[in-house]
């Protein structure tokens, strides 16, 4: 069990991190702008699912391999760069997608959010640096503590990123009926995804 004092210290720190703009938040914003509120929420859920996989790997000790092996870090990073560029090209080519036109944008948004998070190796390095500060091996299962703390971050991230996506989706819905505005939104969304790809490409290992 995690002590109450530890949780009282962890939750505010996790909320600060959730509210800090980053790649996940910008991805959900771009998804909402392009496809609407529901896909944005699905993307936020996918991001949180990806985070929990990172937390599980870190709790099992596998995350140390990413921190120790530069080539593994770079392989994951460049897969992420390629995937973000693929999403950018799709957004630019297809423009905005009406949120109620099909269930596909929602299904794909969850997958995209999870893959974007999983292919950012900085996430697992962050998990390795942040969560262990609040883990006490004497308090019980280290893996269970990792997962419990990870759930807190994941829920907070889902809410914050989802709200950002809903806001963007509201703006996008107003503009999507205009073909020219829809095309511009596609370029804006593609630009966001491309910028995230560039950011991931030029970042250095901690």
Residue 117 is predicted with a pLDDT of 94
Residue 115 is predicted with a pLDDT of 94
Residue in this structure with the two tokens 């299962």, named with its chain if needed:
141
CA–CA separation, 206 vs 126, rounded Å? 9
Residue 101 is predicted with a pLDDT of 47
Domain ranges of the chain: 38-202
How confident is the model over 26-76, as pLDDT tens digits? 999 989 888 888 999 999 999 999 999 999 998 888 777 777 777 888 888
Closest CA to 188 of 35, 4, 67, 56: 35
CA–CA separation, 198 vs 84, rounded Å? 9
CA–CA separation, 172 vs 55, rounded Å? 33
User: In the chain, which residues have pLDDT < 50?
Assistant: 99-101, 206
Rounded to two decimals, the pTM is: 0.83
DSSP string, 22-72: -HHHHHHHHHHHHH-HHHHHHHHHHHHHHHHHHHHHHHHTTHHHHHH-HHH
Residue 189 is predicted with a pLDDT of 84
Residue 100 is predicted with a pLDDT of 47
In sequence order, which residues have a C-beta less than 8 Å from that of residue 31 and are 6 or more positions away? 39, 40, 43, 109, 112, 113, 165, 168, 189
Residue 77 is predicted with a pLDDT of 85
């Amino acid at each position: 069990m995690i002590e109450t004092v530890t949780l009282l210290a962890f939750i505010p720190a996790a909320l600060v991190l959730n509210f800090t703009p980053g790649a996940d938040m910008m991805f959900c914003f771009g998804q909402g702008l392009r496809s609407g509120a529901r896909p944005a929420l699905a993307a936020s859920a996918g991001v949180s699912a990806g985070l929990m996989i990172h937390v599980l790997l870190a709790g099992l000790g596998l995350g140390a391999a990413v921190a120790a092996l530069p080539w593994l870090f770079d392989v994951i990073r460049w897969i992420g760069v390629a995937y973000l560029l693929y999403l950018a090209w799709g957004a630019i080519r297809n423009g905005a997608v009406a949120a109620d036109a099909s269930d596909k944008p929602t299904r794909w948004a969850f997958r995209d959010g999870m893959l974007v998070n999983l292919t950012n190796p900085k996430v697992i390095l962050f998990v390795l640096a942040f969560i262990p500060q609040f883990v006490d091996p004497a308090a019980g299962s280290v893996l269970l503590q990792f997962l419990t703390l990870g759930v807190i971050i994941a829920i907070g991230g889902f809410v914050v990123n989802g709200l950002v996506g809903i806001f963007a989706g509201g703006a996008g819905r107003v503009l999507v009926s205009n073909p020219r505005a829809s095309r511009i939104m596609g370029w804006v969304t593609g630009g966001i995804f491309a910028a995230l790809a560039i950011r991931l490409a030029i970042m250095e290992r901690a």
